[in-house]
Amino acid sequence: NTRIETIKAENCLDEVLEPFAEMLSQGKTVAFPTETVYGLGANALDEKAVQSIFEAKGRPSDNPLIVHIAQWKDILKLAEEITPLAKKLADTFWPGPLTLILKKKSVVPESVTAGLDTVALRMPSHPIAHRLIAMAGIPVAAPSANLSGKPSPTRGSHVIKDLKGRVDGIIDGGMAMVGLESTVVDATGEYPVILRPGGITKEQIMEAVKGSERDFRTDQPPEESKKEVAPRSPGMKYVHYAPNASVVIVQVTDTPMAESIRHQAEAYRFKGHKVGILCTEETLKDGWPLLWKEGKVETDRITPEGWHIILNGSLREPSTIAGRLFDALRSFDETEVTLILAEAVSEKSLGQAIMNRLKKASNGEKRIPRLEKK
Ligand code: TXA
Ligand code: MG
């Protein structure tokens, strides 16, 4: 009952997208690729359609959705006030991985915004997402297309695994490029407030608001939402992106990363864990040179010590780490691993978003690793 189609982004023809656009305009749910992660879309102006998103995902109803649009003029229908800041950020980053929070108009149903007086808006750049939304001719509410609590899907196969049989349509358009969700910025005021780090970095946002006609306060970095106050981005309070195994982050210290990992892996094995390792190319080369020489270990491989190891990009190119993170975490679900040691990266530029997601996967490092006795 779920219509599934595989489409190549390079040649996404209107006639292939047509039935899915039709489904959306008829109030049905369709999962589709965006440049960040896959989204599960429905007509944002149709209360019932929006409801079916929450049902399909098992998502708490107090977590608002992002409304996706295909052209600038759609923002005028949904946002009460477009601040100069929002205009500037949209001009710079749309279409792309940036979500803007603005005061909402009354046409936006309460179920989309979870009762807030603001709405989250994003114009995706992925050709399939962009064309699909344009053809549907409606604003499309779309959270990430995973079951609530699972890592966001970056491949069609992830969506099929989570949502087949629960939604009306799935478009498999290959791998999402960025691999992490959009940056959510509150743009209701004079200064940008980053509510969720993501594909667009804080540095990029600062650069964009610098030297504009309005005197944005660029001497200070954009404020980040404080944990203590009521969560301004409600979704950030939930446990997210968690694979089945517990995740422990191995921090950067003076000791070489590979050595730290090896040390901790031994300790956790001693406690009875099946240990998995998620590390960069650099750490693999240093710690397990033979495995490295054998070739790609992007999929699960076993080290001589018996640990499952999955390679996740290179420190020289943080975008490769971001791009594969969720896929790698999900890959561990296919193994017997009970605890994943994940290599930390420095929290600069894209590293902020990467570490934010890793910490969420490890539940802020507070979750006690659980052990299932046989
Ligand atoms: O990249 C993305 O943003 C993906 C793709 C599909 O566009 N979507 C996505 O949606 O990640 P979701 O629902 O998984 O995350 C939306 C985030 C949540 O943390 C939610 O709380 C926040 O945006 N949000 C939505 N509306 C908001 C609002 N009015 N005020 C503050 N935060 C809001
Ligand atoms: Mg999500």
pLDDT digits (tens, 9 = 90+) for 329-354: 999 999 999 999 999 999 999 999 99
Mean pLDDT score, 278-284: 95
Residue whose CA is closest, atom 13 of ligand 1? 143
Which tokens in the block code for residue 317?
Answer: 């190119």
196 known ligand binder: yes
pLDDT digits (tens, 9 = 90+) for 308-335: 999 999 999 999 999 999 999 999 999 9
Using the mean position of ligand 1's atoms as its centre, give its distance from the Cα of residue 30 in Å.
Answer: 17
Using the mean position of ligand 1's atoms as its centre, give its distance from the Cα of residue 66 in Å.
Answer: 5
- DSSP-assigned states of every residue in 139-157: -EE--BSS-TTSPPP-SHH
Whole-structure pTM value:
0.91
pLDDT digits (tens, 9 = 90+) for 19-54: 999 999 999 999 999 999 999 999 999 999 999 999
Question: What CA–CA distance (Å, rounded) separates 253 from 276?
Answer: 20
pLDDT of residue 220: 43
36 known ligand binder: yes
184 lines ligand 1 (CB under 6 A): yes
**Amino acid identity for residue 281 in this structure:** E
pLDDT of residue 221: 47
Using the mean position of ligand 2's atoms as its centre, give its distance from the Cα of residue 115 in Å.
Answer: 18
362 known ligand binder: no
**ipTM for this model:** 0.99
pLDDT digits (tens, 9 = 90+) for 194-224: 999 999 999 999 999 986 544 444 444 455 5
**What ligand 1 atom has the least distance to the C-alpha of 178?**
1
pLDDT of residue 299: 75
**Amino acid identity for residue 296 in this structure:** K
Q: Which residue has the tokens 């780090």?
A: 197
**Which residues of the chain form beta strands (DSSP E)?**
3-6, 30-32, 39-43, 66-68, 98-103, 118-122, 140-141, 169-172, 183-186, 193-196, 223-224, 246-250, 275-279, 301-302, 308-311, 339-343
Using the mean position of ligand 1's atoms as its centre, give its distance from the Cα of residue 64 in Å.
Answer: 7
Mean pLDDT score, 273-288: 96
pLDDT at residue 291 above 70?
A: yes
Using the mean position of ligand 1's atoms as its centre, give its distance from the Cα of residue 97 in Å.
Answer: 11
143 lines ligand 1 (CB under 6 A): yes
Kind plus residue range of the DSSP H or E element containing 285 = helix 281-287
324 lines ligand 1 (CB under 6 A): no
122 lines ligand 1 (CB under 6 A): yes
SS3 per residue for 103-134: EECCCCCHHHHCCCCEEEEECCCCHHHHHHHH
Question: What CA–CA distance (Å, rounded) separates 186 from 85?
Answer: 10
Residue 43 pairs in a beta bridge with 140
